[in-house]
A and B are shown apart, each in its own frame.
Chain A
């Protein structure tokens, strides 16, 4: 009992205010997840129609577009890592970064150099701390991504993909690492290859009943493809951002929930110790009084 009762009370108070903060963050994250999920749902029709259209063009024309062309000898790959702007979300950012490192390892083993593109302050800080070069980074939107940013990032990536080999900044592949939102409890860091585009029809082969109609293309299949593919890439990136935002909030809610639980535990423990200290003090006082009274009685009886 080296620490006095007063100090225990002060500790309990500070843990209580920590608990209030973590509880508030938990509730905020919980309410934002719903919004994030709604945004993801609202964006779904666009992605669906776009995928349909792209697979329609891919089916009825010979897809030979710069964005789908595999380079013969890929030497450089761009990796876009989607991290969060703020911490206090458990292992959210670090597990994305770990996944990114794994992907980089694999790419290097295949003989490709890696160009990093980062979104989110946490990722930027990670790379800065390690003094590693980042080609481009964007911050400030991780929990509420809008389409403009996704379009801008998509454009940057497409531009560097389309540079001819040998030009500075040219990349032969583009990968995205983000966290897929599977459920409130499970979020999974995922790496996907964005460019060159794989023709999408393979993903979900239409059954005989829903064969795609024979489209007419205006002005031409090539022109339509030219217009569609960049939008398709951007919508994929936007989709990754929306998923990442929902995952970030879910991770934060989970982390804050366990922080609140821990604070509660700590308060309970401190209260017990404080009560013990108080009881010990009282016992000591009583024994001092009793000792004093006894001594007084002994002295009186001796003088009698």
Chain B
């Protein structure tokens, strides 16, 4: 389709989602980023957060990524992350338990705990956003 973005959401071992979309919202290390058709070529790093893809017909696909990066060029958007999950693949209960555990300080280092908290929160947010 000429008037849409072509989006590929790719994890290390599979393509999570691919198709035409009107808009992509992702969170980079500098802050939220929205991509519409005609966006300038861009390469940016992502944080552990939610990626929202609004398709042509107005559906919203919500996914969570674990870092990685986004590249935009010629109306092609690629979101690459080592781990990416669609909202319907997320186990919310597991994420909640993980969040509790991380808050209880079960991790050895503060860094690790913070990563775990961010990941769990991103998972929960993705599910809430999708529902």
Contact = CB atoms under 8 A, between A and B. Distances in A.
Nearest to A223: B45
Interface string B25-65: 00011100100000011111100000000000000000000
Nearest to B14: A42
A213 interface: yes
Nearest to B83: A147
B71 to A, nearest CB: 5
Interface in B68-88: 68-69, 71, 73-74, 78, 80, 82
Interface residues of A, number: 31
A146 B41 contact: no
Contacts of B71: 49, 52-53, 56, 215
Contacts of A46: 10-13, 80
Interface stretch (A122-130, A172-180, A224-232): A224-232
Given A50-B80, A53-B69, A228-B69, A45 B43 contact: no
Contact of B13 (A43, A50, A56, A219): A43
Contact of B43 (A39, A215, A231): A215
B43 A218 contact: yes
A240 interface: no
Tell me what chain A mostly uses at the interface: helix, strand, loop, or mixed.
Answer: helix
Interface residues of B, number: 26
A43 to B, nearest CB: 5
Interface string A113-150: 00000000000000000000000000000000011001
Given A42-B13, A56-B71, A219-B29, A49 B78 contact: yes
Interface in A26-67: 39, 42-43, 45-46, 49-50, 52-53, 56-57
Given A42-B13, A147-B13, A218 B73 contact: no
Interface in A47-98: 49-50, 52-53, 56-57
A53 B46 CA distance: 14
B41 A224 contact: no
A88 B10 CA distance: 36
Contacts of A217: 42-44
Contacts of A39: 13
B12 A235 contact: yes
A214 interface: yes
Contact of B12 (A43, A213, A216, A223): A43
A49 B80 contact: yes
A53 B43 CA distance: 8
A231 B45 contact: no
Contacts of A218: 28-30, 33, 42-45
Contacts of A147: 12-13, 82
A49 B74 CA distance: 14
B12 A49 contact: no
A238 interface: yes
Nearest to A50: B80
Contact of A214 (B10, B13, B30, B41): B41
B68 A146 contact: no
Nearest to B40: A216
A-B pairs with lowest CB-CB distance, top 5: A213-B41, A218-B44, A147-B12, A213-B73, A42-B14
Interface of B: 8, 10-15, 28-30, 33, 40-45, 67-69, 71, 73-74, 78, 80, 82
15 contacts: A42-B14, A43-B14, A45-B15, A49-B78, A49-B80, A53-B78, A57-B43, A147-B12, A147-B82, A212-B73, A213-B74, A216-B43, A219-B44, A219-B45, A231-B68
Interface of A: 39, 42-43, 45-46, 49-50, 52-53, 56-57, 146-147, 150-151, 212-219, 223-224, 227-228, 231, 234-235, 238
Given A213-B41, A213-B74, 19 more contacts: A39-B13, A42-B13, A43-B12, A45-B15, A46-B12, A49-B10, A53-B71, A53-B78, A215-B71, A216-B40, A216-B42, A218-B33, A218-B42, A223-B45, A231-B68, A234-B82, A235-B12, A238-B12, A238-B13
